Amino acid sequence: QDQLVESGGGSVQAGGSLRLSCAAPAYIYDNYYMGWFRQAPGKEREKVATVYPGGAATYYVDSVKGRFTISQDNAKSTLFLQMNSLKPEDTAMYYCAADRTLTGWGRSPAYWGQGTQVTVTP
């Protein structure tokens, strides 16, 4: 169920940066596990970044550590993914997602955005 609204994707050269945003209903933003997934054609869906409720903790897949950072604007109930030093391997459709419980988050989140395309050219 798409209740999250994503934006910020685009096409950039390797080494460039993009910032994705995910606007969420306040009840989701304030209380749920949230984060970002990505999926490239023919590839498995991959969990990229996670933030616990209230920003209590953040986690990143090894391949993006040091390059991607989650941030939040609490007043706007908006989650961001700052992506720096982008590589062609980062090319994928990026999805914001959320779930009320850690179990649900780990299995398959209940809430999803529509996706925003990120393309990194050599």
Does residue 2 carry a pLDDT above 80? no
Instruction: Report yes or no: 25 and 31 within 8 Å, Cβ to Cβ.
Output: no
The pLDDT value recorded for residue 61 is 98
Using DSSP, state whether 74 is helix, strand or coil: helix
The pLDDT value recorded for residue 118 is 98
End-to-end CA distance of the chain: 35
Q: Please provide the average confidence, as pLDDT, over all residues in the chain.
A: 96
Provide the CA 106 distance to its chain's centre, in angstroms.
15
Residue 74 token pair: 């609490």
The per-residue pLDDT for range 15-72, each reduced to its tens digit, is 999 999 999 999 999 999 999 999 999 999 999 999 999 999 999 999 999 999 999 9
